[in-house]
Structure 1
Amino acid sequence: MKKIILGLLAAMMSFGACADAAEGQEYYLEYLRPYFGYNGQDFAEQHLKVEWKRYFKKDAKRFIKTYSKKHPESAEFLASEDFQKIAPHIADFAIKYAADSGELAACN
């Protein structure tokens, strides 16, 4: 029983537990949109929820690799500590408004 409770607590404290889609939306608009050029909805709809989860696994390595190639001008920022701090929020935003989410992001 003790192991189950500890496991649940660890799961709650993992990657997405502290992320916030609203913050992610703000961070996307402020930091990534200037590099990528997509509005928030177009960005989030590029992938399904499961795909976004894969992109942001393991310190967002797949996201960084893919989007650094797509948008070379963003590579330095994506490789920075600043990006690592906001990545969980960006992930939560992208997952919440993914192509298969049925939700629309209200951002330009």
Structure 2
Amino acid sequence: MTKSTSLFLAAVVAASLMGTAAFADAKSGQKVYLKTLKAKFNMNGTKFAAEHTVAEWEDLFANGAAGFIKEYSAKYPAAIPVLTNPEMKDKLQEVGDFAKEYGSDSGNVPSCG
């Protein structure tokens, strides 16, 4: 095998591993959403993710999900204890990965209809 072919194959393998890691975070976020937030928001994961574009989700989940917590606390007051729970901080970032992966303009559809 030539050196350029070897480098190309190594790059392909590395890229596929990075894509898998990002998808794994989205899957974890999907599980967190379904387990802790679905009942509070009264909507399935597909409808939830489609509420905003990818860029909007990125803005909402910036700064420790401050925008997300503010918006969804106002819309769903019953969710405030869950959204503001310090133990949910890391889990909310996973929910953000899920929302960004399946945002309304992403072209992706989650399997949690």
Q: TM-score range by the shorter chain?
A: 0.7 to 0.9
Partner residue of 1:93? 98
Match of 2:62 in 1: 57
Structure-2 separation of matches of 1:83 and 1:32: 11
Q: TM-score, normalised by structure 1?
A: 0.81
CA RMSD of aligned residues (A): 1.2
Runs of at least 4 residues of structure 1 off by over 2 A?
A: none
Displacement of 1:93 after TM fit? 0.3
Question: SS of 2:88's equivalent?
Answer: helix
- Cα deviation for residue 34 of structure 1 reads 1.1
The reply on whether 1:41 has 2:41 as its aligned counterpart is no
TM-score normalised per structure 2? 0.77
Aligned to 1:11: none
Between the aligned partners of 1:26 and 1:34, the Cα distance in structure 2 is 13
Q: Supply the distance in 2 between the matched residues of 1:79 and 1:46 (Cα, whole angstroms).
A: 21
Q: Structure 1 stretches of 5 or more lacking a match?
A: 1-16
Q: Which structure has the larger Rg over C-alpha atoms?
A: 2
